[in-house]
Amino acid sequence: MLHVDGSPEFVGQVRGALEHIDPTAMVMDRAVCFDTGRSFERHPRGHELLRRLVESGYRVVIIRGTSSRCEPTYPNGMRTGSTVVWNFGQVPTNAPACFCIGLGHELGHADQLIRGVVGAADLYPAGGGSSGFSMRLEMLNITGRYGVETWDGVTENQLRDEHVPRQAARPSY
């Protein structure tokens, strides 16, 4: 299940971003759901990502914060829900993008945590992950770079590619 917590203004910002990722996405009573009367034909990966989160038995909550991140509910490596903290205006400086992309990136982490393909230690690697060679595998997977094929998750660059208008690919994490 995917929920939004915050002011009506923030809920509106989240709804706006989710509609970019998947035009069928709606927020009703702070729960994300889908308008089956609309088409996600041009946004298959965005819809896949949101559908996984909405249909999972794990709780993911989107809240407002100054630094976007995804915090696991149970940070001990098991499959877990999470809190997605989203700064509306935060985009990577090396690849500016529509405001929705940062939220999509963090929701990708939430999906990883639900599916148990990444633990908290991987999300917060010691020393950070700013240089190309120290990037952790899941960060490569999120941005979808370097031909990493070990995870079938939705990547940030897939969301950028199917965005209308198309957003340039992010070269690195």
User: Which residues lie near Zn ion (CB under 5 A)?
Assistant: 20, 98, 100
Shortest CB 163 distance to Zn ion, Å: 5
What is the C-alpha to C-alpha distance for residues 129 and 61, in angstroms, rounded to an integer?
25
Our CB check for Zn ion shows the closer of 102 and 119 to be: 102
Our CB check for Zn ion shows the closer of 99 and 124 to be: 99
Buried b (16+ CB within 10 A) or exposed e, 108-124: bbbbbbbeebbbbebbe
Our CB check for Zn ion shows the closer of 6 and 16 to be: 16
Shortest CB 16 distance to Zn ion, Å: 8
Measured between its terminal Cα atoms, the distance across the chain in Å is 27
Q: Hey, how many other C-beta atoms are within 10 angstroms of the C-beta on 101?
A: 23
Phi and psi at residue 86, in whole multiples of 5°? -125, 125
Q: Hey, how many other C-beta atoms are within 10 angstroms of the C-beta on 24?
A: 20
Helix, strand, or coil (residue 122): helix
Our CB check for Zn ion shows the closer of 2 and 123 to be: 2
Shortest CB 144 distance to Zn ion, Å: 17
Helix %, strand %, coil % of the chain (to 5):
35, 15, 50
Our CB check for Zn ion shows the closer of 21 and 113 to be: 21
Shortest CB 37 distance to Zn ion, Å: 22
Shortest CB 91 distance to Zn ion, Å: 10
